[in-house]
Every structure is written in structure tokens, then in C-alpha cells.
Structure 1
């Protein structure tokens, strides 16, 4: 896992500026995503973590809706870009498999949109257990991923050389991982891709919570 994490970090460090140019305003063209984020913003009571925040576009969207949010990403260069684009929001570098710098129960909500897609299957339980630890009792989790069972490798994105694997998951598989980590599932939503806006993959959104007791 360490070797994969290093090449993942290096790839996003290299692609940070190009990635931000391509995706920072993508929510303008994704009404479904805005609706699920709006619902989370209305429901959450307290500090929210945007895990795998990239250039900070989701964190910025939540901040503009009154959410106290911190963005966290593995790539230091991506964090620098996020800080520059949205200086009002706190951004920190961190590995979602081990966020020991944050105490247990630190967040009332966690958003992880297309973050688990870079976690190899054997490490998904570790990642979700860490998210469960970070949530306060009753805390909300919103995550999304590409639907399927295959892996897509990319060696060039946004005209930048990268070395990235994208792991696809079936909804039932991820739901089982969530239950194993101690979450209770609240909702499953799915949608087709927005043509010309994003990769042509079917998308899944799961909302869950950490039991209050």
C-alpha cells in the first residue's frame, strides 16, 4: 500500500494545477451533486471534513452554504492549490487511512466524494474504520464512487503524466464495507453521467451515519 500511496500522491501533486482548472467549477454543471450536498448542509450540525478534497471545490460549496468545513487531501500540492482558491476554508494534508492528527469524534459530518476510488479493496475496511472513528456519535457520512467491479488505469490525465488506478465498486459491496465498519445506511442514490462534464461512468452515492449510542 505504501508504494501505491506514494505514486498516487506524486500523480496528484503533478496534476494539481491542471486538475483544478478542469474540475473546480464542475458543480455548476451537476445539479444532482448539488442537491445531495445541499441536503447534507441542511442536516449536519457541526464541523464537516471533506476527505479527498482535491482543489477544494466541494469544501467551498459547503462553506458558501454556511457549513464549517475542513478539506483534507493526500497531495500537498493539491492542498496548496485549494488554499489559494478558497483561503476562507481550512485545508490540511492527510492520508485517509491514518488521520491520527484528528481526535476521535472530531467531525459531525464527512464528505468523501470519489475519494475511495483510489483505495485498493483490501484497504477499504481500514479507510472506513478511520472515517467512523473521526465521526461523532450520530455523525453523517456521504460518499460516492463509480459503479462496477473493474479497475481503470490512467497514465495521462489533463495532458499530464500520471500513474493512477481507479477502482470501481458495486453498491452492495460498498454497503457491506460500511456495515462492517459500524455505519448504518440511510440512503442509496444512483445516476447516469453528465455527458461532456465528467467521465462516462455510472455514479453511486451512499449516505450513512454513525449510531448515536
Structure 2
């Protein structure tokens, strides 16, 4: 379903001024040339946007098909296959930024503390984390998306609970943005964007 997904969301950023503003603010906090990894990058649309903002960004995803699209559409960016739960290829404190843009929504809540600990590990002191996710309490299940024989569960999260888990992992909150659902685009839930910092 990678090609269908990439086609559906190819021009999504054009209708998301708040998301673009959050990413621009994040890129300024990290600083030009900052070393950033986009975790769960999918077809690389966010990775490419962050690169255009001046970050030295790479992408990571589990899906070979998604990565093939990302490499094709972003030939100057490095993409690797792997799990964001275990970033073995990245040393402690080796990154200036970590981006988890709607990719933690596939992680069970019980695994979030370990996920956030891994984010903190690879970040240099003073490094920044950017997260995006849908707000809510009830997961959404997609059966046979775009006619493909798979099922996808999308976890919804509460920003305040995510902040609790992230601060428990050692992060300091920098920014919390919540926008209402865009019903004209078929959305049914608000969306949250968090920026956090690893203390010096």
C-alpha cells in the first residue's frame, strides 16, 4: 500500500499551515545544519521538507516499500531501514534533533517509556524532539485501507499524558500546540504537536 499512501498524502503539507509553522520553529531551535533523524519517515515527505529548511536530516522506517519511494523522491537524503525502538546505528548523544511525526501512533502505550528513553539517549544535551499525533482516547482501526489486505490501528493520545511520559523520561517541555480537527479534510480529531528539549 506504500504507493497509494504516498499518492494520497503527496500534497498534504500545502493545506497545513500550522504544521509547517511548527516545523519551521523546530528547525530554528535545532539550528541550520543540525543532525536530525525522522523516525517512521514513510515516503519521506516530512524528511524532505525538513531538509529544505536547512537541517541535515536522515530518515528511518520499517517498510522497504516506503523507503524505496523516499529514496526515489529525495535522492540527496540518506534513508535506512530499522525500528525507532532500537536505534543501534546511532551513538549516545549523536543527534541534534529527533522527529517522530505521527509515527508513535503505531506504538502500544506500554512501549512508550522505552521509546522515549531511546529518543533521549541519541540526542545530544540541548537537542530537541518534535512529535505529532492525533488527540483522543480511542484507537481508530482501518480495515483493508485502499483495498489492501491489511489492518492498521492508529492510537490517539492525550497531550498532557504524553508530556508526563516524556518528562518522566528526562525531557523538558518547550512547546505544546493543539489544533482542532479540519472537517473539510475529513478529520475527526484534534491534532497535537510537541517540542521538547534534552536538558544540558
When the two structures are superposed, what TM-score results if normalisation uses the length of structure 1? 0.89
> Hey, what's the Cα distance between the residues in 2 that align with 1:16 and 1:177?
31
Matched, 1:44 2:49: no
1:5-16 matches, within 5 Å, as 15-16=1-2
- Offset at residue 193 of structure 1 (A): 2.5
How many residue pairs were aligned?
198
Which residue of 1 is the match for residue 96 of structure 2? 108
Matched, 1:33 2:26: no
> Hey, what's the Cα distance between the residues in 2 that align with 1:199 and 1:104?
38
Which residue of 2 is the match for residue 141 of structure 1? 129
C-alpha RMSD over aligned residues? 1.3
Counterpart selection for 1:21 from 4, 7, 10: 7
- The answer on whether the counterparts of 2:26 and 2:195 sit within 8 Å (CA) in structure 1 is no
1:1-213 matches, within 5 Å, as 15-45=1-31, 46-197=34-185, 199-212=187-200
> Hey, what's the Cα distance between the residues in 1 that align with 2:76 and 2:198?
29
Which structure 2 segments of 5+ residues have no match?
none
Q: 1:171-211, CA deviations, whole angstroms, 9 ceiling, x for partnerless residues?
A: 11101110111101111100013334353221011110001
